[in-house]
Amino acid sequence: MQGFCDQHIHSALSLDGRSPLLEQVRACRDAGVTQVCFTEHIDFGTQDGDFTVDFDEYVRQIEQARAAFPDLCIRVGLELGDTEESRGRVLEQSNVLPLDFKLLSRHLIGGIDPSCGAKFFAHRTREQAAHEYCHAVYESVTRFPDYDAVAHIGYVFKFVQGDGFPPLRYRDEPDLIDAILRFMAEHGKALEVNTSRWTRFGEGMPGKDILLRFCELGGEWITLGSDAHDTASVAQGFAQATECVKACGFEYLAVFKQRRAELVRL
């Protein structure tokens, strides 16, 4: 494999992004990333308000970055934050631009983002949280009509990991996780390995057990995403994540161009 492929990255065009798009591209180049797809947020009803994108400015900045870094493949995507209530609006926004990549995610569970740890877990045990989250992801994966990959399975425990809240494991909800992964495998959807917690916890989302199960159920496509919101987080854990993906039996990473998967041998 020559160079890394980052299929999940944000810039200041996203409401929670902290680094300009051009600086994110420069950080990618310096980190050995040769193919990058920006996935700016579309997400309604979060605790920080609605996440929308200035599409004209998005295109302008992508074109500027391509001119400044002609040796990099720089592509255009969106991270689509699904809920039952906002699905129609999210889908409408996802069709404004001709995209390379549509990345489906689920952040809100019962109207609350697990990043609001005290509020989200105030009346939930870990077991209840895992069940509600996996049920919500299943609902999104099976009912959102148009996407290429599913982001950061395990997000529910991303912000609260500790002795009482270990990462999401296959054994927590084997039936629901099987249903999610089987649907993805049967419908040709890619599973993202999200490395945004690698520096802190030494693994990605999902963990190796869920990756192995995806492979057992016939899943073929894996994408790699840093989920970086600033230059300091670009490509974190990519070398280790690539080895983990290979150890689980996958031979390729999928990168998307004009909604079609191109396979990069590991």
Express each pLDDT in 167-226 by its tens digit: 999 999 999 999 999 999 999 999 999 999 998 888 999 999 999 999 999 999 999 999
* pLDDT at residue 1, as a whole number: 58
d(CA 245, CA 249): 7
Relative to beta strand 49-51, strand 33-46 is antiparallel
Ordered DSSP codes for 194-261: E-TTHHHHSS-BS-HHHHHHHHHTT---EEEE--BSSGGGTTTTHHHHHHHHHHTT--EEEEEETTEE
* pLDDT at residue 208, as a whole number: 97
Q: Which residue ranges of the chain lie beneath pLDDT 50? A: none
This prediction's pTM: 0.97
Q: Average per-residue pLDDT in the chain?
A: 96
Relative to beta strand 222-225, strand 73-81 is unpaired
Token pair of 229 as six digits:
């919101």
What are the extents of the domains in the chain? Answer: 4-265
The architecture that CATH gives domain 4-265 is Alpha-Beta Barrel (3.20)
Percent of the chain whose predicted confidence (pLDDT) is above 70: 99
